[in-house]
Amino acid sequence: MAPYATGTDTPHSIDAGETLNTNTSDITVVASTRAVVEDRLTAATIVISTITGKITSIFHSVLPASSFPAGTPYTDYSPHVLLPGLVDAHVHLNEPGRTEWEGFWTGTRAAAFGGVTTVVDMPLNAIPPTTTVAGLKEKIAAAEGQCWVDVGFYGGIVPGNVHELKPLVRGGVRGFKGFLIDSGVEEFPAVSSADIAAVFEELADEPTTVMFHAEMIPPISASVGDDVQWSLPPLEPSGPLDRYQTFLDSRPSSFETYAILEILSLAHLAPKLPLHVVHLSAIEAIPMIRQARANGVKITTETCFHYLSLAAEQIQEGDTRHKCCPPIREQANQDGLWQELLDRKDSIIKTVVSDHSPCTPNLKLLPSHLPGAEGGLKAGCSSDQGKGDFFSAWGGISSVGLGISILWTEAMRRSLPVDETIRNMAFWCCGNTAKQVGLEHRKGSLKVGMDGDVAVFDDEAKFEVQSNAMLFRNKCSPYQGKTLKGVVRDTWLRGFGGRDGDERWRCVLLGAGYKQQAVRGVYLYFERCGLMMHERLSHY
Ligand SMILES: [Zn+2]
């Protein structure tokens, strides 16, 4: 049967037995019996121009290497799955200023390792934060020459920076983020309702998205978040500070629902402006967002790999690797998030991201018996005084590059259908995340004209998460020691990639021969963002 092609770029069609009339050095070819092409799981042969980095043809069958001119780089990955390169729309890279927490080199290398070909960097915890054009320029300068994958940047919303927002849009930021509760770092204060109103008015007609860390302390509350540790009755902690339940009790679902109601109450000020709730945890917020969407409010949410795979009941005393905000909730909440997510057509949760938010081991206050603790696991070497305090520990989970395996492992644990889950993962982590940040015309799907970004996913293989699978700077993650199903064998970024999977793993680990292939640079990418200034983000 003759394969057929999509798209119009050459080479675009082929008769059986013929070879393509193509300059050998200008294309590279990847194929598999299983690829996610425009939401279908199908056999595919994908031709990528090594000059433009774009996909020039897709044939819906596995063509043999002999179909292409001698010398054409060709890899048949069957039966592994070709996924679009993942777009992780929520990553904290922390450079400059807190590079010891994470940096462009380590963070993007960890991303590439896990099939992520685009990360979008959050506007905090670097110093300066990306709340001014000057801060954005510092970010770009710090990223230059260090990135293994494409990188985009968000801008930040803090009290008093309204005048910076339009210039930041012109500067290419992929959206904005603000906090309704203490962010944990002093240079990125929370905004008030009056600040949000001013932001909505300023950005009402801009081609951007405004996102919120949606936790807010209700006026009458039994908790004051992390400050609970110093509080007297009735706001005192409900139990020992190293007990996870005490921490969970201090950040109830009502923090999320109250914040979301506050955002929704102001949404009429900018009816055309897409709004987005980052890292939704509480299922109690789902009905109110569904209702708002039904009423025409342009609001979407994301959730994170950790809310879909970890549960409060499993978290051991003092295991602060699990601290993040909003918190990981009970198993029933996790089940509810999955249920919502799987309702693809109507789900308010459109994307799944990492919220990779690391810090140095000392700030995690991990007791010495837990992997990832400061100073390792040397018996009796350090005092555990003050360790395991969920309130004083830094909140954030490291997982960039592990996401697709986490999701797959959990989906298989839940006995979800294989083919549908593969398509769903591409939907949540590639297509929709690209859309969220206005890059859907070049990222997030395998289609002619898109960037040649491909994640080669071996859905049968397993690996144990240890240091050699955590390429981020600080090897401290709640996934350490867990066995995950699903291994990314290879990552292609705009037509540049490794050979077979094991070879690439070695390349990445050694940093050899991969850097110059992997990245044509954040700079090039960023220049192209400049071309997108007059495009309005689509909403979905
Ligand atoms: Zn975050």
Here the CATH number for the domain that contains residue 89 is 3.20.20.140
**pLDDT at res. 533:** 28
Is the pLDDT at 325 greater than 70? The verdict is yes
Alpha carbons 505 and 527: distance in angstroms, whole number: 30
Q: Of 79, 106, 123, which one is at a domain's C-terminal end?
A: 79
- Which residue type, as a one-letter code, is found at position 301? T
**pLDDT at res. 384:** 73
499 occurs within a structural domain: no
pLDDT above 90: percentage of residues in the chain: 66
pTM to 2 decimal places: 0.87
**pLDDT at res. 18:** 35
333 occurs within a structural domain: yes
Q: How far apart are the CA of 53 and the centre of ligand 1, in A?
A: 30
End-to-end CA distance of the chain: 37
**pLDDT at res. 501:** 36
393 occurs within a structural domain: yes
136 occurs within a structural domain: yes
Alpha carbons 224 and 252: distance in angstroms, whole number: 10
**pLDDT at res. 354:** 98
324 occurs within a structural domain: yes
Is the pLDDT at 511 greater than 90? The verdict is no
Q: How far apart are the CA of 398 and the centre of ligand 1, in A?
A: 11
Q: How far apart are the CA of 16 and the centre of ligand 1, in A?
A: 51
Is the pLDDT at 500 greater than 80? The verdict is no
Residues 64 and 106 placed together within one structural domain of the fold:
no
> Rounded mean pLDDT of the chain?
84
Q: How far apart are the CA of 278 and the centre of ligand 1, in A?
A: 8
**pLDDT at res. 20:** 37
User: Which of residues 102 and 531 earns the better pLDDT score?
Assistant: 102
Alpha carbons 411 and 224: distance in angstroms, whole number: 35
517 occurs within a structural domain: no
For 107-162, what is each residue's pLDDT tens digit? 988 898 899 989 999 999 999 999 999 999 998 888 877 777 888 899 999 999 99
Residues 343 and 475 placed together within one structural domain of the fold:
yes
Residues 30 and 143 placed together within one structural domain of the fold:
no
Q: How far apart are the CA of 73 and the centre of ligand 1, in A?
A: 39
Q: Of 34, 51, 79, which one is at a domain's C-terminal end?
A: 79
Residues 141 and 284 placed together within one structural domain of the fold:
yes
Is the pLDDT at 70 greater than 60? The verdict is yes
Residues 28 and 137 placed together within one structural domain of the fold:
no
534 occurs within a structural domain: no
> pLDDT class for 188, splitting at 50, 70, 90?
very high
Is the pLDDT at 193 greater than 50? The verdict is yes
What angle (nearest 5°) sits at the alpha carbon of residue 361, between those of residues 356 and 364? Answer: 75
Q: How far apart are the CA of 478 and the centre of ligand 1, in A?
A: 16
Is the pLDDT at 535 greater than 70? The verdict is no
Q: Residue count of the chain, please give it.
A: 540
Mean of pLDDT values over 20-33: 72
459 occurs within a structural domain: no
Residues 205 and 71 placed together within one structural domain of the fold:
no
Residues 73 and 89 placed together within one structural domain of the fold:
no
Q: Of 18, 48, 79, which one is at a domain's C-terminal end?
A: 79
**pLDDT at res. 383:** 62
Q: How far apart are the CA of 88 and the centre of ligand 1, in A?
A: 12
Q: How far apart are the CA of 462 and the centre of ligand 1, in A?
A: 28
Residues 140 and 157 placed together within one structural domain of the fold:
yes
Q: What total number of domains does the chain contain?
A: 2
Which of 379-383, 422-426, 469-473, 480-484 has the least mean pLDDT? 379-383
Residues 32 and 91 placed together within one structural domain of the fold:
no
Residues 384 and 278 placed together within one structural domain of the fold:
yes
pLDDT above 70: percentage of residues in the chain: 83
> Highest-confidence range of 48-52, 458-462, 517-521, 522-526, by mean pLDDT?
458-462
| Cα dihedral 85→89→94→95 (10° resolution) | 50
Domain that includes residue 332, residue range: 85-445+467-484
**pLDDT at res. 19:** 36
Q: How far apart are the CA of 14 and the centre of ligand 1, in A?
A: 47
Residues 196 and 290 placed together within one structural domain of the fold:
yes
Long-range contacts of 291-299 (CB under 8 A, 24+ apart): 292/264, 292/267, 293/348, 296/271, 297/264, 297/267, 297/271, 298/267, 298/271, 298/272, 298/273, 298/274, 298/539, 299/263, 299/264, 299/267, 299/274, 299/275, 299/348
Q: How far apart are the CA of 101 and the centre of ligand 1, in A?
A: 14
Residues 94 and 69 placed together within one structural domain of the fold:
no
Q: What is the CA radius of gyration of the chain?
A: 23
For 210-269, what is each residue's pLDDT tens digit? 999 999 988 766 677 777 666 665 567 888 999 999 999 999 999 999 999 999 999 999
Q: How far apart are the CA of 433 and the centre of ligand 1, in A?
A: 15
Mean of pLDDT values over 375-384: 53
